[in-house]
Structure 1
Amino acid sequence: MKKKIAVVFDSAGTLLRMYRVAKETSTGNILENIESTLLVAKRPRRALVVIHAEPVSVTSTDPRTELRKFIADNRLKIDISCSSGPISTEEAMKIINEQNVLVGDVIEVIDLVHRSCPENYYIAAGLIVDGQLQFIPYVLSTAGKLYSNAFRTIKILHSRDIDTYIASGDTMRSLRKVAEKLCIPLTNVFDIATTHEKANIVLALKEKYEIVLMIGDGLNDIRALEVADVGIVTTQQGDKRPQRLLEAADHVICDIIEVIDIVDSLSAYDHR
Structure 2
Amino acid sequence: MSIAVVFDSAGTLLRSYRTARDVGTGEILPDVETTLLTCRDPARVLIALNAHSRDVMGAPDDQFLSEYLCERKVGFGVSCLRQVTPHEELANLLYGDREALVGDLQACIKDVWGILKEEELVVMDSGAILNLSKRGIEFTVTAGGRPFKGAKETIESLHAMGVATYIASGDRAAKLEQIADHLGIPRDQVHGIATPSIKAQIVEDLQDYYETVVMVGDGINDLKAFRRADISILSEQQSREKPEQLTRAAGYIIKNVREVVPIVRELSDDGIVSI
TM category, shorter: over 0.9
Summarize the alignment of residues 218-229 of structure 1 with structure 2, pairs less than 5 Å apart. Answer: 218-229=219-230
Q: How far off is 1:19 after superposition?
A: 0.4
Counterpart AA for 2:104: D
Q: How far off is 1:35 after superposition?
A: 0.6
Contact 1:17 1:145 in 2 (8 A): yes
Report the counterpart of residue 147 of structure 1 in structure 2.
148
Report the counterpart of residue 244 of structure 1 in structure 2.
245
Following TM superposition, the consecutive aligned residue runs of length 4 or more in structure 1 with deviations greater than 6 angstroms are: none
Contact 2:97 2:137 in 1 (8 A): no
Contact 1:121 1:178 in 2 (8 A): no
Task: State how far apart, in whole Å, the 2-side matches of 1:264 and 1:125 are.
Answer: 37
Report the counterpart of residue 69 of structure 1 in structure 2.
67
Paired residue for 2:43, among 41, 45, 69? Answer: 45
Task: State how far apart, in whole Å, the 1-side matches of 2:167 and 2:128 are.
Answer: 23
Asked if 1:181 is matched to 2:182, the reply is yes
CA separation of 1:9 and 1:71: change in aligned 2, threshold 3 A: same
Contact 2:14 2:146 in 1 (8 A): yes
Q: How far off is 1:239 after superposition?
A: 4.4
Question: Which stretch of the first structure deviates more once superposed, 170-179 or 261-270?
Answer: 261-270
CA separation of 1:253 and 1:128: change in aligned 2, threshold 3 A: same
Q: How far off is 1:140 after superposition?
A: 0.9
Q: How far off is 1:233 after superposition?
A: 0.6
Considering only aligned residues, what root-mean-square deviation do their CA atoms show, in Å?
1.4
Task: State how far apart, in whole Å, the 1-side matches of 2:55 and 2:126 are.
Answer: 11
Contact 1:78 1:89 in 2 (8 A): no
Q: How far off is 1:238 after superposition?
A: 2.1
Task: State how far apart, in whole Å, the 2-side matches of 1:239 and 1:109 are.
Answer: 24
Q: How far off is 1:132 after superposition?
A: 2.5
Partner SS, residue 31 of structure 1: strand
Counterpart AA for 1:127: A
Counterpart AA for 2:100: V
Counterpart AA for 1:198: K
Q: How far off is 1:172 after superposition?
A: 1.1
Report the counterpart of residue 32 of structure 1 in structure 2.
30
Task: State how far apart, in whole Å, the 2-side matches of 1:137 and 1:269 are.
Answer: 52
Q: How far off is 1:116 after superposition?
A: 1.0
Q: How far off is 1:269 after superposition?
A: 7.8
Report the counterpart of residue 55 of structure 1 in structure 2.
53
Question: Which stretch of the first structure deviates more once superposed, 261-270 or 176-185?
Answer: 261-270
Report the counterpart of residue 108 of structure 2 in structure 1.
109
Partner SS, residue 268 of structure 1: coil
Task: State how far apart, in whole Å, the 2-side matches of 1:68 and 1:89 are.
Answer: 16
CA separation of 1:269 and 1:133: change in aligned 2, threshold 3 A: farther
Task: State how far apart, in whole Å, the 2-side matches of 1:157 and 1:270 are.
Answer: 11
CA separation of 1:29 and 1:239: change in aligned 2, threshold 3 A: farther
Paired residue for 2:8, among 1, 10, 30? Answer: 10
Task: State how far apart, in whole Å, the 2-side matches of 1:192 and 1:182 are.
Answer: 19
Task: State how far apart, in whole Å, the 2-side matches of 1:260 and 1:134 are.
Answer: 45
Deviation per CA, 1:120-157: give whole Å up to 9, x if none: 43111111011123232211110000000100100100
- What is the TM-score normalised by the length of structure 2? 0.94
Task: State how far apart, in whole Å, the 1-side matches of 2:100 and 2:137 are.
Answer: 8
Contact 1:231 1:249 in 2 (8 A): yes
Question: Which stretch of the first structure deviates more once superposed, 102-111 or 44-53?
Answer: 44-53
**Structure 2 unmatched ranges of 5 or more:** none
Report the counterpart of residue 20 of structure 1 in structure 2.
18
Partner SS, residue 257 of structure 1: helix
Report the counterpart of residue 265 of structure 1 in structure 2.
266
Q: How many equivalent residue pairs? A: 269
Deviation per CA, 1:42-88: give whole Å up to 9, x if none: 11131101111111110011111111110111111111111121223
Asked if 1:168 is matched to 2:131, the reply is no
Report the counterpart of residue 235 of structure 1 in structure 2.
236
Contact 1:45 1:86 in 2 (8 A): no
Contact 2:99 2:137 in 1 (8 A): no
Task: State how far apart, in whole Å, the 2-side matches of 1:30 and 1:270 are.
Answer: 48
Contact 2:200 2:224 in 1 (8 A): yes
Q: Percent of pairs identical after alignment?
A: 36
Partner SS, residue 13 of structure 1: coil
